[in-house]
Amino acid sequence: MSYISELRKYIGHQPIINIGATIIVLNDKNEILLNLRSDTNTWGIIGGGMELGESLEETAARELWEEAGLKAERFELLTVLSGKDLFFRYPNGDETYTVIVLYKAVVVSGKLRINDSESRCLKYFPVDSLPELESRAEYVISRIKDIL
């Protein structure tokens, strides 16, 4: 069971601060990889919360594998985002203020596939033609569009 799931047993849906890694994966056409989230039915960026004892780079590697079946030779730190714009209420009522440590995956390998239940679909999109995004993904992309 994940750290956040364990914590939720004690605090219910109350807001928490959740630190995690989010990973920008670009293909050779400079399109961004998105996942169709199973909880909100909107598109998001690969990523998730840090587990106890894990480094942020380990979180990035784990999430990239779990959500997309990919591995990266390394992760390039792009930025850290936080604040009220990253408040999120999950469909089950859980509330969180997310601290996003944003990485770019460098030298990506593997076969694109879903290894968990968090995604329904994986697809690359041109940055100027994105589908309906989950609010945090929309915020992240708006903050880094100039470097994509």
Intra-chain end-to-end CA distance of the chain, in Å: 35
Query: What is the pTM assigned to this prediction?
Result: 0.93
Tokens 């879903």, residue located = 114
The pLDDT tens digits for 34-53 are 999 999 999 999 999 999 99
AA letter at 36: L
Q: What is the mean pLDDT of residues 8-29?
A: 96
> Quick one: CATH architecture of 3-147?
Alpha-Beta Complex (3.90)
Query: 21, 63 in Cβ contact below 8 A?
Result: yes
The pLDDT tens digits for 74-89 are 999 999 999 999 999 9
